[in-house]
Amino acid sequence: MLSSDTLGIFVVVAEAGSFTAAAERLGLTPSGISRSIGKLEKQLGVRLITRTTRRLDLTDEGKWLLGNARDILARMAETTLTLQSAAEHPSGLLRVNAATPVFNHLLAPLLPAFQQRYPRIRLELVSGETIVDLIEERADVAIRVGPLQDSTLSARLLCESRLHLVAAPAYLQRCGQPDTVAALAAHSLLGFTQPVSLNIWPLRHDGGDGYPVSAAIATSNGETLRHLALNGSGIACLSDFLVRDDLAAGRLLPVLQPHTLDWRQPIWAVYYRQGFLAARVSHFVAFLAEALQAAGEAG
> Total structural domains in the chain?
2
User: pLDDT class for 268, splitting at 50, 70, 90?
Assistant: very high
Same-domain status, 177 and 252: yes
Burial 148-172 (b: 16+ CB within 10 A, else e): eeeeebebeebbbbbbbbbbbeebb
In this model, does residue 227 exceed pLDDT 90? yes
Same-domain status, 78 and 97: no
> What whole-number distance in Å separates Cα of residue 122 and Cα of residue 277?
17
Same-domain status, 176 and 247: yes
Same-domain status, 112 and 212: yes
Same-domain status, 79 and 197: no
First-to-final CA distance of the chain: 55
Same-domain status, 127 and 205: yes
Same-domain status, 51 and 190: no
Q: Single out the residue in 65, 88, 111 at which a domain terminates.
A: 88
Same-domain status, 253 and 170: yes
In this model, does residue 274 exceed pLDDT 80? no
CB atoms near residue 73 (< 10 Å): 15
pTM given for the model: 0.68
Q: Single out the residue in 88, 112, 145 at which a domain terminates.
A: 88
In this model, does residue 5 exceed pLDDT 90? no
% residues pLDDT > 70 (the chain): 89
Same-domain status, 65 and 98: no
Domain extent at residue 259: 90-299
Same-domain status, 210 and 101: yes
Q: Single out the residue in 72, 88, 104 at which a domain terminates.
A: 88
Q: For residue 195, say if its preceding peptide bond is cis, omega within 30 degrees of 0.
A: yes
User: pLDDT class for 226, splitting at 50, 70, 90?
Assistant: very high
Q: For the segment 60-113, what is each residue's pLDDT rounded down to a tens digit?
A: 998 898 888 888 888 877 766 666 556 666 888 999 999 889 999 999 999 999
Q: For the segment 170-194, what is each residue's pLDDT rounded down to a tens digit?
A: 999 999 999 999 999 999 999 999 8
pLDDT at 136: 54
pLDDT at 289: 93
Q: For the segment 17-75, what is each residue's pLDDT rounded down to a tens digit?
A: 888 888 888 888 988 888 988 888 888 889 989 877 667 888 999 889 888 888 888 88
**Interstrand relation of 154-167 and 200-205 (parallel, antiparallel or unpaired):** unpaired
> What whole-number distance in Å separates Cα of residue 118 and Cα of residue 136?
27
In this model, does residue 135 exceed pLDDT 70? no
The CATH number for 160's domain is 3.40.190.290
Same-domain status, 242 and 157: yes
